[in-house]
Amino acid sequence: MESKVCITTTDNNYDENKPLKWLSKIDDDTNEEFIEKFDKHQLSVETFDHRTLLRIIWTCLKNYGRKETVKAIFDHLKIYIRDLNETLIYFWIQIVHYELATTKSSTNDFRDFLLMNPQLLNEIALPLSYYKKDTLFSNQAKTTIILPDLKHLPNILPTPFASAINTIEKNVNAANEQQVNELDDDKFLRQFESYTLTSWSDRAHLRIWLGFT
């Protein structure tokens, strides 16, 4: 049976009681058991929903860090979700990472994390506060990551990275964008850290978010 997680659907037939049900749910496995099931493709497809996606992201971030989380999620999610929307998955990784970084909690409990961040359960309203509906559910958004067109995502880049971006953006040369895009990861990172990139684009921005944080 195909997964019901809200990855490519719109807001038709949305159950307004879902967030309350998700908040009250108590998991019957540990974080370690849960992520092992995910890695081994043993999670139930029939019960895979938005809360499951959030827990996958939260658990991976706590155990692997951002770079490995991005790789693991995009490697394994296609097993559970037939019609994946890459932009929406990236959005939830970014939002969960931000809330994880800014939420003070003494527990290692996913339910507590949700109780402190209930807005994450707004599986449709929250992403549509950052993206126009036509953008988020477009064919392009399904196959490539698109940056928001209503407001910027929360910034979780370390201060040196944020400073580098600000400096580079003041000295960009649009004519050199293709040249920068063709740099391998090592050269790209060296030029980024030394503020010598000659162009800055959405693609470069995503390269930093996905590859080096």
User: Taking the domains of the chain in order of start, what are their residue ranges?
Assistant: 18-143, 159-211
- In a 13 Å sphere around the CA of 124, the CA atoms on its Cβ side amount to 15
What string of pLDDT tens digits covers the 213 residues of the chain?
A: 344 444 444 445 556 788 888 888 888 899 999 999 999 999 998 889 999 999 999 999 999 888 888 889 988 998 898 889 999 999 999 999 999 988 877 678 899 999 999 999 999 999 999 999 999 999 999 988 888 889 888 876 554 545 554 554 445 555 555 566 677 767 766 666 565 666 555 566 566 555 554
Helix (H, G, I), strand (E, B) or coil at 75: helix
